[in-house]
Amino acid sequence: MLTEEQIERYQRHIALKEVGGKGQRKLLDGRVLIIGAGGLGAPAALYLAAAGVGTIGLVDADTVDLTNLQRQVIHFTPDIGKAKVISAREKMAAINPGIEVNTYEEWAHAGNIMGIIIGYDFVIDGTDNFAAKFLINDACVLAGIPYSHAGILRFDGQTITVKPGESACYRCIFPGPPPKDAIPTCSQTGVIGVLPGVLGIIQATEAIKFLLGKGELLTGRMLIYNALEMDFNEVRINRDPKCPICGETPSILELKDEVDAVTHCDLGKK
């Protein structure tokens, strides 16, 4: 049952026939984990909190830096130096005190990620490096937890939703990470600040649709966005029978960190 305050707060959701009181209850009972409280995670966390997703987890060991504020809209100028997960939790609680925010002030790695993701219904990958992106894919595939991938660079973004065992995973597209420093990072080449807003909100939309059980998820197709040309392109992605983790004879049977994929940028992190 919803309280009177909840009925008023979520009235615009409840008015949708695809949501209604039942759907709002599903959101309130939902558990979504956001790995990375930065460019992608910031808008996702704000909207999921506002939407009334009852339990939201945030994973990030970083602190807020002045260079973050151009795009990581959950962090404010007075937050500089504060742990990102704490800064984010404060804003989410201010938007919606009726939800629970679990914070994990640590980097996700092969040794801790399973313990963090188990129990969540849906995971949002808001990380900025290939080691983390492959780790999240592998952990979600092995645990059978659906997740949303997104990546951004300059004016370009890409996103796909993965339902393990049903739709293509990240390794069906990219079997392994590129060598260290082969692909530029946002800190090296720049990123237009609104870009992660677009992608992070698409990721949050996928989480909400998954919890509601409504609509079509972005599975089996990668959405590719170019902000300069304002172009959205969708590429159909089939499962790869030879995929090293979700294929017919997987070679990855347990988690390991892709140490070779750690970027220069990560190594220089304070």
Partner 1 sequence: MHLTVNGKNTVIADKESLSIPGLLDELNVEDPLYVTVELNGDIMERINFDNIVVRDGDEIEFLYFMGGGRG
Q: Which residues bind partner 1 (CB under 8 A)?
A: 36-41, 60, 62, 68, 125-130, 132-133, 150-153, 156-158, 172-174, 177-178, 182-183, 185-187, 191, 196, 199, 222, 224, 231, 233, 235-238, 240, 242, 263, 265
d(CA 43, CA 115): 25
Helix pair 20-29, 195-212: axis angle to 10 deg: 110
d(CA 192, CA 203): 18
The residue among 14 and 160 lying less far from partner 1, judged by its C-beta, is 160
Residue among 172, 186, 243, 246 flagged as catalytic: 186
- Least CB distance to partner 1 at residue 185 (A): 6
Q: Residue 178: which residues within 8 A CB-CB, separation 6 or more?
A: 130, 261
The residue among 11 and 188 lying less far from partner 1, judged by its C-beta, is 188
The residues pairing with 216 across neighbouring beta strands, listed in sequence order, are none
Q: Residue 252 is encoded by which pair of tokens?
A: 């990855």
The residue among 83 and 199 lying less far from partner 1, judged by its C-beta, is 199
Residue 184 is which amino acid?
Answer: P
DSSP label at residue 90: H
- Least CB distance to partner 1 at residue 233 (A): 4
- Least CB distance to partner 1 at residue 93 (A): 21
Residue 147 is which amino acid?
Answer: Y
The residue among 163 and 171 lying less far from partner 1, judged by its C-beta, is 171
Q: Comparing C-alpha atoms, which of 178, 125, 190 is closest to residue 151?
A: 125
Q: Residue 11 is encoded by which pair of tokens?
A: 């009235």
- Least CB distance to partner 1 at residue 45 (A): 12
Catalytic status, residue 186: yes
Residues tagged active-site: 186
